[in-house]
Structure 1
Amino acid sequence: MHRWVMALAFSMTVGAPLSGNAAELQKSTVSKDPNLGVLSSLLQQPDEQIDLARAEVAIERMIDPAVDEKSTLALLDAWAAKVKARFPQGEATGNDIKVTVLISTLYQTGPWNDFRPFSYDLDDELGLSIPGKLISRYLATRKGNCVSMPILFVILGHKLGLPVTLATAPHHVFVKYQRENGEWLNIEATSGGTKSDSQYREELGITSRAIATGIYLRPLSRREALLVPMGTLMQFYVENRSPERVVSLTDLALAIDPNNIVGLLVRGDAYRRMVDERYAKFYPTPDKIPLAMRDGYMDIYRNQVALARTIESLGWVSETQQRQAAYLQSVERAKAGQRGGSQ
């Protein structure tokens, strides 16, 4: 007999589109979602023409309509100008120097940032706060997380002509910078430091299979980089929209990157919610579902199974309690250091 709820850890694979009654219900539910049209237009642009700043602000406004597009974009331009003003004068400035200046402008206390450097928000230990993932808020508070911080770094890098992009790891986003010799350097935007791929693999438990399938650590194209702020929008949809709308949002993400782990996980959770809301709350076991409704249930169940197999095949593994505990301990040490430094 089928279980009602498949574990979220096993709901990540490119599931087939819903069919039959389930597909019709999804279609009718999402047909009036204007965000999907806007996102589709953003994702269809030629990669080199994608403006991450404008796309980011457009997505943030889907989450919080109070976000001021004009002022946020102007502030991004102003920060890029601050960095550029600190470049050495009188000689050609190489990209390594530009990156160094960008890092110091953001993270080192000085008149260039009004003695208010950008830093990680230690009160949001796991970086789960949706507002904390928005650069509009990050610019205002100068407290961010591993989503808002690398996005801002890459946006400013693009404005400065730097070859930078986003990369992902389990529960984490960081920056990839391509040096003039073609080498990729990882910049940890939550601190302004650097880390090797091997360090990320060791610290976050990334499997060899996950590297081989490309779900982690590779430099993203601009179009793929848009899936990072879309991940925040997915989180917002999970908390505020129907599972049918969530599935349609993941359709867009998975059309760009079929192996996008965030999209796959969110999609799996949406299937679980569909089962809960359509069937589990009304019937004690699947065999009690009326015959006329069983095709719809089986559509969702088959998608759950396919998703689970796909995610497992990609090398994804769930975070262990030990790794999370170790991370939270590091946050507590950082808080203690922060308190000691302010005394």
Structure 2
Amino acid sequence: MHDTIPVTEIMVADVVTAPPDATATEAATLMRDEGVSSVVVARNGNPVGIVTEGDFATHLCKRRDLGHIELSAVMSSPLTTIESTASLVDAVELLRSSDIEHLPVVARDGARTETRSGAADGDDGAGSTDSAGDLVGIVTTIELSYYVPQLVHRTVDSRQERPRRQVRTDTQYERDDWDFEYRGADKSSVAVGDVARFSKPLTEDDVAAFADVTGDTNRLHLDAAYAAETRFGERIVHGVLANGLLSAALARLPGLTIYLSQESSFRAPLPIGDRATAVCEVVEDLGRDKYRIETTVLDGDGTVVLDGDAVVLVDDLPPMADDETDATAIQ
């Protein structure tokens, strides 16, 4: 369906622009006053470049004085644009392949739109005249995320990810917003009565990534308007994704945990954004290093969203784990 919807259906038509001879300070002021994240640099209505918040955060902040720097010297150019007849899928593919988040929309039929500018839009002679067409709007990953969240999800740059830290020998890394607690008489071995708890927020990114990796793109999890018409009234976390928190808790039992079986019953929906908690209690020693575990996942209010039981095999950790150092930062 998305390949039949043109970008003009969702684009922002009231584009904020500035001429190439405007200063970086003027562009930054426009962003602040107009509440936008980019300024399109246009000459005679033709987009020739763009300056974004990211540019100020990464490049322009290295300069001491922005007052005399013209946009023609710092704008991103040549500019990637998309024609007004292109579809949402075309826009997503272009944003992904170009690794950008702002995509000016142009038309060849002479259709124009009103633009907001902090200076007169004239030809200052800098650069060459853009022949792609008239600027009619702009589409960004924000607008697209409302319509095709499963398409616009992109792997987060490692520099923007929440910090990882290595604090255990049996997991590759941990994150600051993950919590784990293990209660047992001997934390170096598993015994009946021991309880492991693991919790983390299940975010929009988690749901989108799960849908993309597994192929479970049920609109109940991805489309807010669609989900609002269901019995749940809102988007919810995939049940199997919530179930995965049990695997995370069991992975942190003493030793090397190997899943043998899992039975789960889904009791209640889990809203996206909730901090979910998996609780695993060792209830039976089956012999030969096998244990039966009672499993429960709770939402942020403590409501049981699923329960069941699992059987795991707990092996000794590989010898190499004993040689690894304790806490080392992973960026």
TM over 0.5: no
**Higher share of residues assigned strand:** 2
Q: Smaller-chain TM-score range?
A: under 0.3
TM-score under structure 2 length normalisation: 0.26
* Normalised TM-score (structure 1): 0.25
Whichever of the two has the greater Rg, that structure is 2
The structure in which a higher percent of residues are helix is 1
